């Protein structure tokens, strides 16, 4: 969905970017202008003129649909999906162009937002409170952003405040089944001549939710605290220096008996993350032709994890006491302390650090804008027991050094070509990786724009994989190693599309259609049989079968009148492996699992400050294959149509100088969700999960804006 044509926010962006005077803006001369985007070319471009198609969500769009986190924002982006993969731990994935989280680069003002560790649960933990806009570029983007950018790039972007402001919000949501979610957020902006800054925070607290009768969660308990600030200053003329810091304290807990310590529950999966993210950004214009930027960011994450079942702990304690056979009830009753001690050994501690350095030089020369830059990323991970022998801690690290070049070439008044490439040296890959790309934009006339591109991407083995933290029989930890001769994953994406603004609509209607065809080679897979390694406790990352994905997106954005806007889309996604894969008994298929072939959306927003603002948003998810490998089951799922409705009312200056905003709504109105959840307690397959994660829920919120 392109929601970039919200006029008030678009105008505020452009007034600053093009130095419009107040009179010019008020007179309406700026209404023909569109917002600026940066992700597709790493340079500021008007969105309608960039050769690389960019999806843009403004902060106002997120407010309109009551969106507070990155995962919820993605429902506004065609082909982007959030998928829950575990009823206990909350493991999730973000799908873009039919590919999983591993193939998308997530950025914060152009720098990595995630580490390998944070990415596993990251869609849940990153709020939108500090985001001015979200830019999404689909297709291979490794030529600019390096590893992972195969399906595309999601860039969360902040902006220097233009005026002083303070906003606070309190929201309460009630979920069907008896769970509640509390959310509080605030942000304070201060705009000064020499120094501007933003301070923000967010608190989320959600109960665990059991949607069956077995007492085990389908939606884990969740807590998240976020605090951050960002500053901007201009030490010298034509320069900008910004610094940001963000702290997160986040925890998931699923299973049963959530009121007990993890060791005492029949099943518990518990994960707590503390994350510190610091970033500094310097930019300077040396002349009208030359400018440069320097960036540095550092991510530090500490994670405490517990994956355990009381039955396994009882058996291990029984065997450690010198007994043979199955544990007896008498032993369990008499040895609770010994069983608890075994449980403490299950706790894990993981430290993950990421250092990222980035530089870029831009040189505008006649019809060319030449860009070149160097980037360096170092990631280190230490993983071991939280309690117990520290000598069992393992360490893994890698570095990636890269050089990229790009030329934006204006071929004429109506055409532009962007081409370039990147060289990467990655510690986990032999040799140098070359990632080229090219994109072309041509305006057939003032109302019809054609775009085409060829892009490449790659993914290298990282320092973290979730499987290495899940115990196997007997409580031994899994070790995941790369097989000898492991090759990087490589991709090519061919894209072609058209954007049409019918002349009769006066640019109020935008129609867009885009095709993407991606070939993925040497996909990573995990051999967990022990046959290749010779040990069931040693799993090997191997190169699996190649695959191909075809995506066809169709979208319409219509500003029906000054109060009513319609956004609609329908997408087809077909992902197939070159060779069939046996998933479970009776299922041998080339089809991607948990990938619906049809998805769609329809959003209708109504704005009337004299009465009520309202929205309706429909999300369609087509049928797909879902499997439960532990339970050895599969099915082709039904389709889902999720309806969200909401209203809001603004009371101007209701609290002195502050505006008061009341919001109420229902999400998943028809309670569309999986109906065949397993109801057999600790024996259930927690990965047999598909469709909408949350049941029907109602929310009420109050906001104050100064």
- 451-463 confidence digits (pLDDT tens): 999 999 998 876 5
Average pLDDT, the chain: 86
Mean pLDDT of 379-396: 83
Task: Compute the CA torsion angle 386, 387, 392, 396 (nearest 10 deg).
Answer: 10
Quick: pLDDT tens for 310-348.
999 999 999 999 999 999 999 999 999 999 999 998 898
Check residue 536 and report its DSSP letter.
T
On whether residue 71 sits in a domain, the answer given is: yes
List the beta strands (DSSP E) in 538-656. 538-543, 547-559, 564-584, 587-591, 598-606, 613-621, 625-628, 633-636, 640-655
Place of tokens 């956004």: 567
Check residue 490 and report its DSSP letter.
E
Number of domains in the chain: 1
Quick: pLDDT tens for 618-631.
999 999 999 998 89
Beta pairing, strands 239-255 & 267-285: antiparallel
d(CA 615, CA 643): 10
3-state secondary structure of 144: helix
d(CA 512, CA 424): 34
On whether residue 319 sits in a domain, the answer given is: no
44-61 in b/e burial notation, b at 16+ Cβ within 10 A?
Answer: ebebbebbbbbbbbbbbb
Mean pLDDT of 299-303: 93
What share of the chain has pLDDT > 70, as a percent? 90
d(CA 160, CA 283): 14
Q: What is the CA radius of gyration of the chain?
A: 26
On whether residue 571 sits in a domain, the answer given is: yes
In 3D, which of 203, 250, 253, 201 has the Cα closest to residue 229? 201
Task: Give the distance from CA 148 to its chain's centroid.
Answer: 13
d(CA 646, CA 662): 11
d(CA 374, CA 137): 21
On whether residue 326 sits in a domain, the answer given is: no
On whether residue 313 sits in a domain, the answer given is: no
Quick: pLDDT tens for 369-380.
999 999 999 999
Mean pLDDT of 417-434: 92
Mean pLDDT of 242-247: 95
- Token duo for residue 46: 């008007």
Range of the domain at 213: 7-266+274-308+346-705
On whether residue 141 sits in a domain, the answer given is: yes
100-123 in b/e burial notation, b at 16+ Cβ within 10 A?
Answer: bbbbbbbbbbbbbbbbbbbbbbbb
Cβ 138 vs Cβ 676: under 8 Å: no
User: Over 50: is that where the pLDDT of 197 sits?
Assistant: yes
On whether residue 24 sits in a domain, the answer given is: yes
Bigger pLDDT: 518 or 683?
Answer: 518
Place of tokens 């994890």: 305
Give the pLDDT of residue 669. Answer: 96
- pLDDT bin (cut points 50, 70, 90) of residue 4 is very low
Give the pLDDT of residue 464. Answer: 53
Cβ 110 vs Cβ 42: under 8 Å: yes
Q: Alpha carbon of 408 to those of 51, 109, 362, 439: distances in Å?
A: 9, 21, 10, 9
Give the pLDDT of residue 331. Answer: 94
On whether residue 291 sits in a domain, the answer given is: yes
d(CA 134, CA 154): 7
Cβ 77 vs Cβ 121: under 8 Å: no
Give the pLDDT of residue 532. Answer: 79
Quick: pLDDT tens for 276-293.
999 999 999 999 999 999
User: Over 50: is that where the pLDDT of 588 sits?
Assistant: yes
Count of beta carbons in the 10 Å neighbourhood of residue 246: 21
List the Cα angle 114/118/119 in 5-degree steps: 70
Quick: pLDDT tens for 23-75.
333 333 333 446 888 888 989 888 888 999 888 888 777 777 777 777 788 88
Q: Alpha carbon of 192 to those of 109, 136, 197, 232, 237: distances in Å?
A: 21, 31, 8, 9, 16
Give the pLDDT of residue 105. Answer: 86
- pLDDT bin (cut points 50, 70, 90) of residue 473 is very low
- Token duo for residue 418: 């962007």
d(CA 114, CA 153): 12
User: Over 90: is that where the pLDDT of 117 sits?
Assistant: no
Give the pLDDT of residue 276. Answer: 95
Which CATH number is 89's domain given?
A: 2.40.170.20
Q: How many residues does the chain have?
A: 706
- Token duo for residue 658: 């502050």
- pLDDT bin (cut points 50, 70, 90) of residue 118 is low
Cβ 594 vs Cβ 626: under 8 Å: yes
């Amino acid at each position: 969905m392109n929601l970039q044509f919200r006029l008030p926010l678009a105008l505020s962006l452009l007034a600053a970017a093009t130095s419009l005077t107040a009179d010019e803006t008020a007179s309406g001369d700026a209404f023909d202008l569109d917002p600026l985007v940066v992700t597709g070319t790493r340079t500021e471009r008007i969105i309608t003129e960039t050769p690389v198609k960019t999806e843009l969500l403004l902060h106002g769009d997120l407010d309109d649909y009551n969106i507070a986190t990155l995962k919820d924002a993605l429902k506004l982006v065609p082909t982007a999906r959030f998928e829950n993969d575990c009823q206990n731990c909350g493991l999730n994935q973000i799908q873009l162009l039919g590919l999983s989280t591993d193939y998308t680069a997530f950025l914060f003002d152009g720098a990595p937002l995630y580490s390998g560790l944070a990415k596993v649960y990251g869609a849940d933990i990153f709020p939108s409170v500090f985001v001015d806009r979200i830019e999404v570029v689909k297709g291979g983007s490794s030529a600019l952003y390096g590893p992972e950018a195969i399906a595309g790039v999601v860039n969360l972007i902040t902006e220097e405040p233009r005026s002083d402001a303070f906003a606070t919000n309190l929201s309460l949501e009630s979920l069907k089944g008896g769970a509640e979610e509390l959310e509080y957020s605030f942000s304070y902006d201060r705009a000064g001549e020499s120094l501007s800054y933003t301070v923000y925070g967010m608190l989320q607290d959600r109960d665990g939710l059991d949607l069956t009768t077995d007492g085990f969660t389908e939606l884990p308990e969740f807590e998240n605290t976020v605090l951050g600030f960002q500053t901007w200053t201009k030490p010298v003329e034509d320069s900008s220096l910004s610094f940001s810091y963000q702290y997160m304290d986040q925890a998931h807990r699923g299973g049963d008996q959530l009121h007990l310590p993890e060791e005492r529950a029949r099943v518990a999966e518990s994960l707590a993350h503390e994350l510190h993210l610091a970033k500094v950004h310097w930019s300077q214009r040396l002349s009208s032709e030359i400018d440069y930027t320097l960036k540095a960011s550092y991510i530090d994450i500490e994670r405490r994890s517990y994956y355990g079942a009381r039955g396994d702990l009882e058996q291990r304690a029984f065997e450690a006491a010198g007994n043979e056979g199955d544990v007896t009830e008498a032993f369990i009753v008499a040895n609770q302390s010994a069983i608890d001690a075994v449980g403490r050994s299950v706790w894990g501690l993981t430290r993950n650090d990421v250092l990222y350095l980035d530089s870029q030089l831009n040189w505008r020369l006649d019809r060319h804008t030449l860009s070149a830059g160097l980037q360096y990323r170092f990631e280190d991970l230490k993983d071991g027991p939280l309690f117990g022998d520290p000598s069992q801690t393992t360490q893994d690290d890698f570095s990636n050094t890269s050089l990229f070049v790009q030329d934006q070439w204006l071929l004429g008044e109506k055409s532009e070509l962007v081409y370039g490439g990147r060289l990467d040296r990655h510690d986990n890959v032999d040799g140098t990786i070359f990632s080229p790309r090219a994109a072309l934009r041509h305006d057939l006339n003032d109302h019809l724009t054609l775009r085409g591109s060829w892009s490449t991407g790659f993914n290298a083995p990282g320092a973290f994989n979730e499987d290495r933290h899940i115990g196997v029989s007997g409580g031994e930890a899994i070790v995941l190693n790369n097989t000898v001769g492991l090759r990087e994953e490589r991709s090519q994406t061919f894209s072609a599309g058209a954007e049409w603004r019918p002349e009769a609509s006066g640019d109020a209607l935008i129609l867009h259609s885009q095709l993407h065809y991606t070939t993925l080679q040497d996909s990573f897979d995990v051999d967990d049989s022990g046959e290749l390694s010779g040990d069931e406790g040693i799993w090997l990352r191997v190169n699996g079968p190649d695959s191909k994905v075809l995506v066809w997106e169709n979208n319409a954005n219509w500003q029906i009148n000054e109060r009513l806007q319609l956004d609609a889309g329908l997408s087809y996604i077909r992902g197939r492996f070159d060779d069939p894969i046996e998933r479970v008994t009776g299922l041998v298929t080339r089809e991607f699992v948990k990938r619906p072939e049809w998805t769609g959306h329809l959003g209708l927003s109504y704005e009337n400050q004299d009465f009520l603002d309202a929205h309706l948003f429909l999300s369609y998810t087509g049928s797909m294959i879902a499997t439960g490998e532990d339970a050895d089951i599969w099915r082709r799922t039904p389709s889902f149509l999720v309806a969200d409705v909401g209203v809001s009312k603004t009371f101007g200056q209701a609290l002195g100088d502050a505006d008061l905003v009341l919001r109420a709504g229902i999400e998943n109105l028809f309670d569309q969700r999986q109906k065949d959840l397993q109801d057999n307690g600790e024996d259930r397959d927690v990965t047999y999960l598909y469709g909408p994660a949350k049941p029907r829920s109602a929310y009420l919120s109050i906001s104050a804006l100064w």
